[in-house]
Amino acid sequence: MSDQGRRVAVVTGATSGIGLAVATLLAERGASVFICARNAGSVTATVGRLRDGGLEVDGTTCDVRSREDVRSFVRAAVDRYGPVDILVNNAGRTGGGVTTELTDELWYDVIDTNLNSVFLMTREVLTTGGMQRRAKGRIINVASTAGRRGMPHGAPYSASKHGVVGFTRALGNELARSGITVNAVCPGYVETPFGESVVRGHIADGAGSESDVLQKFQAEIPLGRYSTPEEVAGMVEYLVSDTAASITSQAINVCGGLSGC
């Protein structure tokens, strides 16, 4: 990251998995990090743990599906630390099943959580967060390799993450001359609670036992193992650095060579 003063980073969905790894790494590299999640207890506990480690972190609850919550969250971040330099849109959920059996509620909730929230949070950071006015910044959207290929029984999730990749490329080109870069990180299979929920979903859809599903997933990865949250966070750290200033509108895989992406 830049060595010219402390930068302010906003990370959504930051109390576990990739979001927690990103928030921790950015704070360790000198950023003031403002986090959110839906659960107040999780936010309080995460902020406490990171502060105990000497890191400059604060946060509050936010339902990223809610325009009002997003606006309040970004205002709180600015009030606490000042204008936002870095936005990491990480909040998301899994969801799928046989497409003809999907409920409207599931479809819309996955799209609202994974895609519409990225638009709402990005717009608010650019405006209320001061990023556009200051004409500098980094926006990183955590997409997925599911945003580069189709996942059987994963239509809502794949559609939402394809949308995130498309939004990233469009906005990156739109802001290309502004001093603000926009990129997506596309994790494959990652060792997180989210990844465990994907496995459970496949089991529920009749894909076999946990061992069967894990063996199938790992067989698709040339590296032969899941990625770690810290490895994904490392890519985010690079993309927000000064060295990455010429990289924008890109969707970059962190997936162990997963085929079809």
Question: Hey, what amino acid is at 180?
Answer: I
How are strands ordered across the β-sheet holding 57-61?
Answer: 57-61, 32-37, 8-12, 86-89, 137-142, 180-187, 251-254
**Which residue, 6, 123, 102, is CA-closest to 57?**
6
Residue 38 DSSP SS3: coil
Residue 157 annotated among the catalytic residues of the structure: yes
Q: Which residue has the tokens 């990171």?
A: 50
Distance CA 126, CA 167 (A): 15
CA-nearest of 145, 168, 157, 165 to 261 is 145
Q: What interhelical angle do 117-127 and 155-174 show, nearest 10? A: 20
Residue among 81, 157, 189, 226 flagged as catalytic: 157
The length of the chain in residues reads 261
Backbone angles phi, psi at 48, to 5 degrees: -60, -45
Could you give the maximum distance between any two Cα atoms of the chain, in Å?
A: 53
Gap between the Cα atoms of 102 and 119, Å rounded: 24
Q: What is the dihedral of CA 245, 247, 252, 254, to 10 degrees?
A: -30
At position 27, the amino acid (one-letter code) is: A
**Residues pairing with 36 in the sheet:** 12, 60
Active-site positions read 157
